[in-house]
Amino acid sequence: MNNPQPVRVKQVMTDRYQLVDGLMMVDQTIRLMKESDAQVLIIDKRNENDEYGIVLLSDIARAVLSTNRAPQRVNVYEVMSKPVVAVDPEMDIKYCARLFNRLAFSYAPVIDNGKVIGLVGYAELALNGLVQ
């Protein structure tokens, strides 16, 4: 029986994210996302005892736009989810998809040795992982 090699998260992850400081204003981060074609903001750790955070555009729409707050007056840390659940670059994509399904996630940072090295979402799992 043919046993194909599993596809790993590191093989399908993307670099379409921006690592930003939590003190940045939402309007600044939106401009940065547009300029770099980033899908997600990863909020950097303040120190070695801190954890990463994550912000999706939908988070900004819910916390800023729908509540009529001025994006130039809202820090990104007010919108982020923290701590973030990350995935290992060596994880099989089928387990990553199961994790996303179980936790109702659409994106997760890929962290190796405590550092963000990429981003993975359903699009990467399906488009880059299902057909090699």
Q: Per CATH, the architecture of 9-129 is what? A: Roll (3.10)
Asked whether the predicted pLDDT for residue 131 surpasses 90, the reply is no
What is the average per-residue pLDDT within 28-53?
A: 95
Cα 26 → chain centroid: 16
pLDDT digits (tens, 9 = 90+) for 60-70: 999 999 999 99
- Entry pTM: 0.89
70: exposed, middle or buried (Cβ count in 10 Å: 0-12, 13-18, 19+): exposed
Which pLDDT value is given to residue 68? 95
Separation of alpha carbons 34 and 37, rounded Å: 5
